[in-house]
């Protein structure tokens, strides 16, 4: 593996953690978010500042994860008050709010961002393997949640939250849990990105990033862990092979998102399921 | 004996519409009460106000003596107050059985942390299968709820409500969409559930079945309670007859 392939693999793995985080919120729990990049950014900035202050990766990454997750709970609390269609606007607003604050803040480097971030103290391959382990853990955690009663409750919330409430489900608590877990994963991804790039600017965490991650989740098939991972690999590598996509990211991913939602709401996973007639088997009697 | 449900002064307005105007009634433990009244009388709104799905302008609601009108819907449900929907609301991504398993797992999903670390659903599945059997739709267990006839979904909703082990079950037109035989069978099933100790309040237009199975009749018209008592006496009540006069045949009989 050359240095280029190692970098590519690392960024794919970071994006997998990021996308699995959004999949927790949007895929499992059915709460749309157009501001996922803000939590990615919170993790990245938190990690960058602490790393420059001399803290080791174990501390900086954990702090980034916790801060992003805590911010996610706050946004989740706000989201409890708005209906579904308005949640998209609210989360989009959170994304722009984050950018606005970061751009104005001298302490966060303003437009110029933060540079000369210390390395994580590993070789490039070592760091890739480290991210690989964390991505595997994120995937395992996602599958664990999906198969638990919590995942079952998320299904109910995503389907029809009013009915879930009538059946005794504390819908608010489950939504907040989804936000907390999903945004914490974004924060971890952000911290890893900081150590990977060692130079961050506000635009890394803008609206285009939020839309890109959302299209990874949608193309993969809302809620399907393997589908989302596959889509993340493809959509991360696509701009590398077709350079022109980088210049029209918002257009390409926006169009992709629209097409999938309109014509194949099940995404890749839904398409395969129909093709192979696999059915998820919770409680199947036969 | 203290009332299992005591509702006083329920008033609900939707914009300019007075859906309910100062409605009060009581249910004693073990009773089977039916609620009738023309379309738009406010029956659905009343049970939605009782479960907290609709916020009344004013109301006092007591469950076994405890004031519950400030509790959120899910807490009322956990106290044993459960309703089914007139317009069915299945979880569309789930099979018929999964809908009921979910409700049977109400203990497992009470806390998010508990739910996160529990995986087994064999006990819940057995209970759900029994309930589907009781409602006569066991053969549809593994079918997706999408595309099931209304009669099946209606019965699934009753099974799902029963899976929550309610003390007081509020049924909103459970017999609608069922044919003659199915309706009689479901009415018998509900009466049987009642005999086993669950208190029932059933909104129902099917007067034949209502008079056959229930012990008491509450009549709403235009957001007000106009009669309450023994079914035969209530049906002879001039106000009740007047409420149905001028309404078309389907309204009165259906
Ligand atoms: N969510 C709502 N918004 C506005 N009006 C409503 C709503 N729900 C019910 N209503 C009105 O309240 C009145 C009572 O309706 P409802 O309780 O459904 O009657 P019923 O169940 O007896 O047929 C009707 O006039 C209906 O149009
Ligand atoms: Mg009604």
Q: Are residues B54 and B121 in the same domain?
A: no
Angstrom distance (rounded) from CA B99 to CA B95: 6
Q: Are residues B170 and B254 in the same domain?
A: yes
Q: Are residues B142 and B187 in the same domain?
A: no
Angstrom distance (rounded) from CA A88 to CA A111: 26
Instruction: Check which CATH number belongs to the domain holding A109 and give it.
Output: 1.10.3470
Within 8 A of A169 by CB-CB distance, chain B residues are 74, 109
Token pair, residue A195, equals: 């150590």
Q: Are strands B32-36 and B199-203 parallel, antiparallel or unpaired?
A: parallel
Q: Are residues B34 and B130 in the same domain?
A: no
Q: Are residues B7 and B119 in the same domain?
A: no
Q: Are residues B4 and B56 in the same domain?
A: yes
How many Å is the maximal CA-CA distance in chain B?
A: 59
* Cβ pair B164:A152 closer than 8 A: no
Q: Are residues B148 and B212 in the same domain?
A: no
Instruction: Check which CATH number belongs to the domain holding B60 and give it.
Output: 3.40.50.300
Q: Are residues B148 and B99 in the same domain?
A: yes
The Cβ-side half-sphere exposure at B11, using a 13 Å CA radius, reads: 8
Q: What is the dihedral of CA A118, A121, A124, A127, to 10 degrees?
A: -110
The Cβ-side half-sphere exposure at B190, using a 13 Å CA radius, reads: 36
Q: Which of B101, B136, B165 is the last residue of a domain?
A: B165
ipTM value of the model?
Answer: 0.91
- Counted domains in chain A: 1
Q: What is the pLDDT of residue B254?
A: 39
- Counted domains in chain B: 2
Angstrom distance (rounded) from CA A41 to CA B187: 59
With a Cβ cut-off of 6 Å, ligand 1 is lined by: B 14, 17, 19, 37, 39-45
Report pLDDT digits (tens) over A102-116: 999 888 888 889 999
Q: Are residues B72 and B196 in the same domain?
A: yes
Q: Are residues B29 and B151 in the same domain?
A: no
Beta partners for B14? Answer: B17
C-alpha pair distances (Å), A52 with each of A11, A130, A225: 22, 20, 34
Beta carbons within 10 angstroms of residue B229's beta carbon: 12
Cβ atoms B93, B146 nearer than 8 A? no
Q: Which domain holds residue A104?
A: 3-285
The Cβ-side half-sphere exposure at B39, using a 13 Å CA radius, reads: 10
Report pLDDT digits (tens) over B173-231: 999 888 899 899 999 999 999 999 999 999 999 999 999 999 999 999 999 999 899 98
Angstrom distance (rounded) from CA B118 to CA A50: 37
Q: Which domain holds residue B229?
A: 1-80+166-254
Q: Are residues B63 and B170 in the same domain?
A: yes
Q: Which ligand is nearest to the CA of B36?
A: 1
How close does chain B come to A278, measured CA to CA in Å? 13
Residue B139 burial class via C-beta count within 10 angstroms: exposed 0-12, middle 13-18, buried 19 and up: exposed
Give the three-class secondary structure for B176. Answer: coil
For atom 3 of ligand 1, the residue with the nearest CA is B14
**Does B245 score more than 70 pLDDT?**
no
Angstrom distance (rounded) from CA B154 to CA B179: 12
Q: What is the value of pTM for the model shown?
A: 0.91
Q: Are residues B18 and B58 in the same domain?
A: yes
Q: Which of B165, B193, B217 is the last residue of a domain?
A: B165
Cβ atoms B179, B186 nearer than 8 A? no
Q: What is the pLDDT of residue B251?
A: 46
Q: Which atom, in ligand 1's list, is nearest to the CA of B54?
A: 1
Cβ atoms B32, B196 nearer than 8 A? no
Q: Which of B165, B190, B224 is the last residue of a domain?
A: B165
State the pLDDT confidence band at B252, using cuts at 50, 70 and 90. very low
Angstrom distance (rounded) from CA A25 to CA A157: 11
C-alpha pair distances (Å), A66 with each of A42, A73, A95, A210: 10, 11, 18, 20
Which of A51-65, A241-255, B12-26 is the least confident region? A241-255
Which of A137-151, A164-178, B227-241 is the least confident region? B227-241
Q: What is the pLDDT of residue A67?
A: 98
Q: What is the number of CB-based contacts under 8 A between chain A and chain B? A: 113
């Amino acid at each position: 593996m050359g240095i280029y392939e190692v970098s590519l693999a690392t960024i794919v793995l970071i994006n997998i953690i990021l996308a699995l985080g959004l999949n927790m919120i949007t895929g499992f729990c059915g709460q749309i978010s157009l501001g996922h990049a803000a939590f990615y950014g919170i993790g990245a900035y938190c990690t960058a500042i602490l790393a420059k202050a001399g803290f080791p990766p174990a501390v900086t990454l954990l702090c980034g994860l916790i801060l992003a997750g805590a911010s996610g709970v706050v946004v989740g609390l706000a989201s409890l008050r708005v209906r579904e269609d308005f949640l998209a606007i609210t989360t989009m607003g959170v994304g722009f709010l984050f950018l606005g604050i970061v751009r104005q803040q001298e302490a966060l480097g303003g437009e110029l961002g933060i540079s000369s971030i210390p390395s994580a103290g590993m070789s490039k391959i070592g760091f890739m393997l480290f991210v690989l382990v964390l991505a595997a853990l994120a995937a395992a955690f996602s599958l664990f949640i999906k198969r638990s009663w919590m995942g079952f409750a998320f299904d109910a919330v995503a389907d029809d939250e009013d009915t879930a409430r009538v059946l005794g489900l504390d819908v608010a608590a489950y939504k907040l849990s989804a936000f907390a877990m999903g945004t914490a994963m974004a924060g971890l991804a952000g911290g890893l990105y900081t150590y990977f790039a060692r130079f961050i600017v506000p635009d890394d965490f803008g609206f285009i990033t939020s839309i890109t991650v959302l299209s990874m989740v949608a193309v993969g098939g809302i809620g399907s862990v393997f589908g989302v991972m596959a889509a993340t690999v493809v959509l991360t590598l696509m701009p590398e092979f077709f350079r022109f996509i980088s210049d029209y990211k918002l257009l390409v991913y926006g169009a992709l998102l629209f097409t999938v939602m309109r014509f194949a709401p099940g995404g890749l996973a839904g398409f395969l399921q129909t093709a192979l007639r696999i059915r998820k088997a919770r409680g199947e009697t036969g | 004996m203290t009332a299992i449900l005591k509702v006083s002064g329920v008033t609900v307005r939707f914009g300019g519409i007075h859906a309910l105007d100062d409605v009060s009634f009581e249910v004693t433990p073990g009773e089977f009460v039916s609620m009738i009244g023309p379309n738009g009388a406010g029956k659905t709104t009343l049970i939605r106000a009782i479960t907290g799905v609709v916020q009344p302008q004013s109301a006092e609601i007591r469950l076994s003596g405890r004031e519950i009108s400030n509790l959120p819907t899910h807490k009322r449900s956990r106290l044993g107050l459960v309703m089914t929907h007139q317009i069915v609301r299945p979880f569309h991504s789930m099979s018929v059985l999964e809908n009921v398993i979910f409700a049977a797992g109400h203990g497992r999903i009470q806390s998010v942390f508990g739910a996160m670390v529990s995986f087994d659903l064999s006990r819940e599945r057995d209970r759900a299968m029994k309930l589907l059997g009781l409602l006569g739709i066991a053969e549809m267990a593994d079918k997706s709820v999408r595309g099931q006839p209304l009669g099946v979904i209606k019965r699934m909703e009753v099974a799902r409500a029963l899976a929550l082990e309610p003390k007081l079950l509020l049924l909103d037109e459970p017999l609608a969409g069922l044919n003659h035989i199915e309706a009689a069978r479901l009415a018998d099933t509900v009466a049987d559930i009642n005999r086993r100790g669950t208190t029932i309040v059933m909104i129902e237009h099917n007067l034949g079945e209502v008079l056959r199975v229930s012990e008491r009749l509450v009549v709403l018209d235009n957001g007000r309670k106009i009669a309450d008592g023994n079914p035969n006496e209530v049906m002879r009540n001039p106000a009740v007859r007047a409420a149905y006069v001028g309404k078309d045949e389907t309204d009165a009989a259906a």
